[in-house]
Amino acid sequence: MKQATKAAPWKKEEVKRLQQELQHFNIIGIADMTSMPSPQLQKLRSTLKDSVKISMTKTRLLTLAIDNLTGKIPGIEELKKHLHGMPALVLTNDNPFKLAKILNKNKSTAPAKPGQLAPYDIFVPAGPTPFSPGPVIGELGSLGIKATIQEGKVTIKEDTLAAKEGEEISAGLATMLTKLSIEPMEIGINLLATLEKGTIYSKSILSIDETVYLNNLKLAARRSFNLTLAIAYPTKQAIKLLLNKAALNADSLANSRNILTSKTAGKQLTKAEREAKTLAHALQGYEAQEPQSFEAPEKKEEQPQKESPQQQETRQPNEQQRQENVSAQQLPEQTKSKENHDQSPEQADKKFKEEERVAQDVLKKLQDKKINKPRWAL
């Protein structure tokens, strides 16, 4: 029968101390101190002593302290998944993002050493290298890095994942990364996860770039603002622009449909006045024009010319013939006048009425024709 071994008293005291510290702080962080040199750790402790407590211990003892507090602190058992390397407790009452920011500011880079674990996915970027053609192409190929020769230099064809987060860095990869001036290791406290009120914040969440995060917030705010304008959804930020847009649309509609409002009345009256002037100008061409008077050209008095004896002999027979023609024309008129004189009063009255009726008909036709005639043709 196997006897149960008793734990050393110092171990019990250490577990008890850890439990007390875990219950005393609101934020519980788990960190890996593998790449943290002792002098820098002491300096960092001195800098953060007023706000952050760093407590290092063995993984087994920290696991026992977490197990003893399971059920007492919500979610604390999830921290055991993040115990890697040389674990340490990072305790504070500030928010976890502020803690991560403080620790990241106190980090510095360093070349990788064989056997170290990759703190994150290590990529070798595409592009030219300082190497001349030679065995280095084979060394890159053995590490899965495709390379070629361009302009007399070794050039990496594409971005290549050299080591995944948590993988052990080989001696060959460590040497090549150093040659390529890639320093993946971070000297400082590697915060792996934090616990706040039952919520676990992993390293990927804690290492958010504040500038990128702030730009994303601005972009989201701008897009939401544009959406409210597009769908006419009233908000505190968009209500003024929506009202201005509605007022402009209303004015545009009133102007296009000739609707009188307090804002469009002036424009409508100006438009009507302008159209009236245009119409009046167009009608001027159709108004009656005053008849133009044409004066006959003045005739110059011709001075009588002296006739020759031959012209006098010719003119005398012509003058006698003209007088005979005038006498012949006057004879029928005298005969007609005599006939009218011989008519009876009844016949003369009847003839007068007939002539009067004909004259009235002619006058009426002339008046009707004048009335129906267009004004512009007058």
Banded model confidence at residue 361, pLDDT cuts 50, 70, 90: confident
| Residue 119, token pair as written in the block | 């703190």
Which residue's entry shows tokens 């990072």?
Answer: 90
pLDDT (tens digit per residue) in 131-140: 888 888 888 9
pLDDT (tens digit per residue) in 294-335: 454 555 555 555 555 555 555 555 555 565 554 555 545 554
Give me the domains of the chain, ranges plus CATH numbers.
Answer: 8-107+188-207 (3.30.70.1730), 109-186 (3.90.105.20), 213-251 (no CATH)
Distance CA(155)–CA(148), nearest Å, equals 5
> For residue 348, what are the CA distances in angstroms to 151, 337, 358?
135, 12, 16
> For residue 116, what are the CA distances in angstroms to 9, 32, 34, 142, 161?
34, 12, 9, 20, 17
pLDDT at 367 over 50: yes
Confidence (pLDDT) at 378: 47
Banded model confidence at residue 5, pLDDT cuts 50, 70, 90: low
Compute CA 59 distance to the chain's CA centroid, rounded to the nearest angstrom: 56
> What pTM value is reported for the model?
0.48
Within 10 A of 331 (CB to CB), how many other CB atoms are there? 10
| Residue 146, token pair as written in the block | 């495709």
Which of 100, 119, 99, 96 is CA-nearest to residue 200? 96
Average pLDDT, rounded, for the chain: 80
Distance CA(179)–CA(171), nearest Å, equals 12
pLDDT (tens digit per residue) in 78-127: 999 998 888 999 999 988 988 888 888 877 788 888 988 888 899 999 99
Which of 23, 11, 27 is CA-nearest to residue 64? 11
